Amino acid sequence: MHFRLTQTCLDGKARAGELTTPHGTVPTPVFLPVGSQATVKTLTPEELKEIGISMVLANTYHLYLRPGIGIIEKMGGLHKFMAWDRPILTDSGGYQIFSLAALRQISDEGILFRSHIDGSEHFITPELTIQLQETLGADIIMVLDECPAYDDSLEKVQRAMNRTHRWAERCLRARRCSDQALYAIVQGGVFSELRHQSAKYLTSLDSPGYAIGGLSIGEPKEMTLAMIEETVSLLPETKPRYLMGVGSPEDLVEGVARGIDIFDSALPTRVARNGALFTWQGRHNIKNAVYRQMDQPFAPGCDCYTCRTFSAAYLHHLFSCDELLGYRLATIHNLNFIHNLIQKIRATILDDSFSSFKDNFWASYQPTNEQTRLEQKRKWLDSRNLNQ
């Protein structure tokens, strides 16, 4: 059995469980740090383990372009290549093709795109993405999906959804390995009726897990939450639910409260490299002058390596000088924070106190301002398109 539910909250939808994979058991809810290019930026596998990370995400699109799937195969597969012996989930590459690659043509057959690195042309099909992911050898793999923009029309989103459904079927048929769990991805944008159709269709295919795609891509937060709620209500209780690309502290709490089991996001590691560190009060930037002379750790009482070892003033200094060690130490802090958060969430689900934990979280946590959040997201998406 791939997924076992351990506990469901009596007064809500939050649940705790366990994923069984060829590389070990993963307690859920779980957050996966993003290691697109077979490395969680700045960290070694040992550091991830010291934090307690049980599973990471890698990206088929990035690895297909560099170093090439054939190289990783020759090196003994993705686990061996990146020296990570715990579970891995690979994204199919769909989202990256739509957000990074250029000059694409989408047909029912597949996607024609140009590499964001060297402009070379590639054609990817549902069958190919399964073959690539089977070669990489991750524990959980994903179907190829078409990802519309959040402000696309209902008609456009519907066409993309229907294609995603046909591709999901082809992905399921193309499977050759039995030891990988292939998850389907519910699409449908911000349209309730489409989310319903998509969930209904995909659950009929009996996937071992279901992802919710196409959210947190620029739409207002209340819309994200509404779509999660609606979609989850249509998914089978016994299968894991994976909310793709979501990973701020507040989103984890709200996602779990709506029945999500698996999250991934580059946010904790990306904002860390910009100096933005998590605390139970919210996100604070270590570059702020207030830290210049602080001989206490950035977050007193925090049990991460960074806070146990260095003062906030030292971390501030490293960021002032653009020292690479600063990016590492900030990444360690943020992943440790997220891991502690997820652990607390799980513990309170198990002893049925999650809803008061959630209240306490919100009593102290000041989320990033919605307007700021959307601007940052847009800037980030723009910079990716410009730089890559």
Q: How far apart are CA 89 and CA 182, in angstroms?
A: 10
76 in contact with a copy of itself (CB under 8 A): yes
What is the distance between the alpha carbons of residues 59 and 138, in angstroms, rounded to a whole number? 10
Token reading at 81: 């290549």
Among 205, 225, 234, 313, binds a copy of itself (CB under 8 A): 313
Nearest to 48 by CA among 308, 343, 332: 332
Q: Is the dihedral of CA 142, 143, 146, 151 positive or negative?
A: negative
| 66 vs 384 by CB, closer to a copy of itself | 66
Rule CB under 8 A: choose which of 4, 24, 25, 75 binds a copy of itself: 75
Instruction: Pick between residue 258 and residue 316 the one whose CB is nearest to a copy of itself.
Output: 316
Assign 174 to helix, strand or coil: helix
Cα separation of 278 and 337, whole Å? 7
Most distant pair of Cα atoms in the chain: their distance = 60
- Report the distance separating Cα 214 and Cα 218, nearest Å: 10
Which of these segments, 7-15, 20-28, 169-177, 312-320, binds a copy of itself (CB under 8 A)?
A: 312-320
Minimum distance from CB of 313 to a copy of itself (Å)?
5
Least Å from the CB of residue 275 to a copy of itself: 15
Residues in contact with a copy of itself, total (CB under 8 A)?
36
Cβ neighbour number for residue 318 with a 10 Å cutoff: 20
Taking CB under 8 A as the criterion, the residue among 274, 285, 320, 340 binding a copy of itself is 320
Q: Smallest distance from the beta carbon of 214 to a copy of itself, in angstroms?
A: 27
CB 162 within 8 A of CB 122: no
Instruction: Say whether residue 290 binds a copy of itself (CB under 8 A).
Output: no
Active site residues: 91, 264
Any alpha helices (H) in 137-248, and if so which ranges? 154-174, 192-203, 221-232
By beta-carbon proximity to a copy of itself, the closer residue of 321 and 347 is: 321
By CB under 8 A, tell whether 38 contacts a copy of itself. Answer: yes
Decide: is 270 part of the binding site for a copy of itself (CB under 8 A). no
**124 closest CA partner among 94, 86, 84:** 94
**How far is the C-alpha of 305 from the C-alpha of 302, rounded, in Å?**
9
Q: Within 13 Å, how many C-alpha atoms sit on residue 255's CB side?
A: 31
Check if the beta carbon of residue 89 is closer than 8 Å to that of residue 57: yes
Binder to a copy of itself among 170, 316, 346, 358 (CB under 8 A)? 316
**Among the listed residues 153, 293, 356, 372, the single contact to a copy of itself using CB under 8 A:** 293
The Cβ-side half-sphere exposure at 137, using a 13 Å CA radius, reads 19
Per CB under 8 A, 318 contacts a copy of itself: yes
64: its two tokens: 């297909």
Q: For residues 165 and 202, is the Cβ–Cβ distance under 8 A?
A: yes
Query: Which of 35, 87 has the CB closer to a copy of itself?
Result: 35
Question: Strand 15-21 and strand 24-28: pairing?
Answer: antiparallel
**Least separation in angstroms between CB 278 and a copy of itself:** 20
> Using the rule CB under 8 A, which residue among 204, 324, 356, 385 binds a copy of itself?
324
Site string for a copy of itself, 345-364 (x = CB under 8 A): --------------------
> For a copy of itself, which is the closer residue by CB, 159 or 317?
317
Q: Which is nearer to a copy of itself, 205 or 313 (CB)?
A: 313
Q: Which of 7, 8, 12, 67 lies at the binding interface for a copy of itself (CB under 8 A)? A: 67
The reply to whether 311 sits near a copy of itself by the rule CB under 8 A is yes
- Segment near a copy of itself (CB under 8 A); pick from 67-75, 176-184, 223-231, 350-358: 67-75
347: number of Cβ within 10 Å: 13
Of 39-47, 125-133, 182-190, 247-255, which segment contacts a copy of itself by CB under 8 A?
39-47
Q: Return the amino acid letter for 363.
A: A
Residues in contact with a copy of itself by CB under 8 A are 37-39, 41-45, 66-67, 71, 74-76, 81-83, 292-293, 295, 305, 309-311, 313-314, 316-318, 320-321, 323-325, 327-328
